[in-house]
Structure 1
Amino acid sequence: MQVLQVQLEVGADPAEVGRARRWARSRLVGSGIGDDEPVAETLILLISELVTNAVVHTGCPAVLRMLFGAGTADAGTVRVEVTDTSAAPPRPRHADGEDTNGRGLELVDGLADRWGWQPEGAGKRIWCEVDRRAPEVASGAYAPVSYEASCVVPRPA
């Protein structure tokens, strides 16, 4: 199986998150994932959360990497990795009510098919995988319809 890997160095500035999203969107299209595919919006949200966490919580530069056709599921898997130079492990938090922070890893856990992290050198690598063939939504279940501003707005299917 052939794997396509692309990567972007991200500065320690929160403004870099927008640049990472634009870069990732162009790479998704270049890999054959259309802007109109639901998986594209899911991947952009995951990238936004992981890059934001790396930049905001560590204050360090990071490297964003996307691998197409790599993963445990099949050739339709997209793997996103963000490495940084902070040895501090990711700390999932639970946001309450009106909190404006603390939902990032909960979103990653809810949207990715798999995710995790491991130490790498003096820092760490946080990764997630999304299978392009999403399971069908059962009748009566909720399906995400918008990922604007890093939130999921469900509606009845």
Structure 2
Amino acid sequence: MVATRSAAGPGRVRTGPVEGVWRFPVPAVEASVPRTRHAVRDRLLAQGMAGVRYQELVDDLLLIVSELVGNAVTHAAELSPEVITELTVGSDWVRVSVEDGDPYRPKALESDAGRTGGRGLLLVKSITLQAGGVCDVERTGEGGKVVWASLPVPREEAR
């Protein structure tokens, strides 16, 4: 899991997280879910998103990562031996995306009390909308898909 780009210029006064893009490629196995979640958490904290101001954002992002990587491992592993999570930190937003090689475009299932499982994407959409963000599923140039969610960074409170 390697950083691909980070932007924090010299002399820059930082009032929010340090911007950058990181990719976390992992094998499509169950152990990759907590491994990716921990790597994303560590990167978010290293980018300055520790403390009360960012707690809800970090919690939401980690739940989204867990659901999306878990879905890719569960449903796409046969056609995609590797899953790639990308974390993009901007000054006003954070985006997480999970890419796999399976062409099937998932749909959020409606809530059904009699059914176990199958509501991960619905949960991701719900968390994203509640946070004021957006999410979607897109095709990749290689024929797979990327599922992503972008959440706003909480503004610094006026003093």
TM-score higher than 0.5: yes
Greater RCO structure (CA 8 Å; 6+ sep): 2
Residue pairs, 1:114-129, within 5 angstroms: 114-120=134-140, 121-129=142-150
Alignment of 1:106 onto 2:122? yes
Question: Which amino acid letter does the alignment assign opposite residue 131 of structure 1?
Answer: P
**Counterpart Cα distance in 2 of 1:106 and 1:122:** 23
TM-score normalized with structure 2 length: 0.75
Q: Deviations for 1:69-115, whole angstroms, at most 9, x for unmatched residues?
A: 0xxxxx22000011101111112212421533011111111111100
SS in 1 for 2:84: strand
Q: Which residue of 2 aligns with 1:86?
A: 102
Q: Deviations for 1:46-74, whole angstroms, at most 9, x for unmatched residues?
A: 111111111111112210000000xxxxx
Alignment of 1:65 onto 2:83? no
Alignment of 1:5 onto 2:5? no
- Any runs of at least 4 consecutive aligned residues in structure 1 with deviations exceeding 6 A, and if so which? none
**Counterpart Cα distance in 2 of 1:107 and 1:91:** 12
TM-score normalized with structure 1 length: 0.76
Q: Does structure 2 conserve the Cα–Cα contact (< 8 Å) formed by 1:50 and 1:82? A: yes
Question: Which amino acid letter does the alignment assign opposite residue 74 of structure 2?
Answer: V
Question: Which amino acid letter does the alignment assign opposite residue 66 of structure 2?
Answer: S
**Counterpart Cα distance in 2 of 1:48 and 1:105:** 11
Decide whether aligned partners of structure 1 residues 54 and 35 sit closer, same or farther in structure 2, where only a CA change above 3 A counts. farther
Alignment of 1:42 onto 2:63? no
User: Which runs of 5 or more residues in structure 1 are unaligned?
Assistant: 70-74, 135-157
**Counterpart Cα distance in 1 of 2:42 and 2:114:** 34
**Counterpart Cα distance in 2 of 1:58 and 1:35:** 35
Q: Does structure 2 conserve the Cα–Cα contact (< 8 Å) formed by 1:25 and 1:35? A: no
